[in-house]
Chain A
């Protein structure tokens, strides 16, 4: 038996070693064939090897290997808070999060996106997934750790939020900052027609996160979303969505947690003045049902918000929050926020937010939050 293993290892090594050896060689530079096109200048003499460097392996390779480096960016998110907040809340000053992103095309069939979040608690994978954009049947598939396509805010990273915090509804019912997200597979499909942009998404997750508490392999979480979008004029549009998510409640075997969400967004952005004016109004409603050992807990939460850009670098916004806790005796938490945001450039942002929170139990709180966002590296796409 042991001999067999030895033979197997030897054979494997023999098979693999040429591949490894080739992998260590520098990539062959394409030399122009004499027949191809006009005469090109002779290729430059090979650059001298870096001292001590072996043939281009381990990060000291020729510069040409760097063209395949992914697009990299780092975004800092610094948050401060002023005002009394008994029982927790944001710290006075905090380097809330540093997000590092790495994005590139993998091969002719896929692209990959990695987002790592460094925060005071440690490092976590915010998202890391491969996207196959061109599957048959008009399907788009993502595989990896994903923010679930539940509503609007759940899919947004911190630095793309129009506020310094997340709405109470998200914190009480949809998993807070980490949100609904997990290792999983997402499939979505378009339904082309003349009247409305229609997209359906189905996702399956491991079912172990801030919301779902699956313990067994079989405790998967499922998610479905239908999105309808229509341009009203060239400057305005309406975006509607309905989502559901279900998984284990963690209260006992077979007991479920169910979330149903509805969202609506109206956008206005005049094309001729797109860099100076925009208006966005959005609301999301979520119903939650938690199956406990003895009874079912139902809760409802919502927020409604509006943002208005009134100058090239200035935005203002307002948000109203109302949400129960997923399992709570009675009463809803409420909140009202006003924001003012300044953009020195596309790559940095300073924001202030006044927030008045009325917890279901306890005294109302008045706080002022402020935030500095700053990004370096590749220019990412703007969020729509």
Chain B
């Protein structure tokens, strides 16, 4: 692992070929069958899911499985376009995790606390301009299982800079039960995924965040009550 660069490739599509192939195989042979057999998805409002990039998917975050499951909602040919956005301080902490995050998951690393005036959103904008589909978890981190916490407003800045890119809220229910934070044993559960209608940038940050939070509340009401103690 020592020879591998810690910095992420500029795009999963343009990264080195063996890694791209490995990524393709990982999703085709492991992620998709596991999602199909061990979990099982009830996808509601599939028609609201974007068919192509650029797009920003915004989801609640309870489990390490959130990202691969969301990625499995898209056809395999869109895999090179799918870019989860992940925190530098967690995912690039050790070399092995960084290699997996960058080459297999294809993350775009995000500096949670940028220093020295660097623009942390610049790589995300570039990816959107290339037509990528970003996956963001605006809660910032995996919270308590099956509970949503306040949304961070970084997503609003991104929406302001690229107002034409659809922001699609997705509510995930059940993955926090299958593999919650701090657990390594996957227990099979069906997962409900609710795709919301896109949120439109109306020129005001607070308004955008309210709209987004309201969308999530709406979707959460469709889900069964989070009876999980």
Q: Do A and B bind each other?
A: no
Interface of B toward A, CB cutoff 8 Å:
none
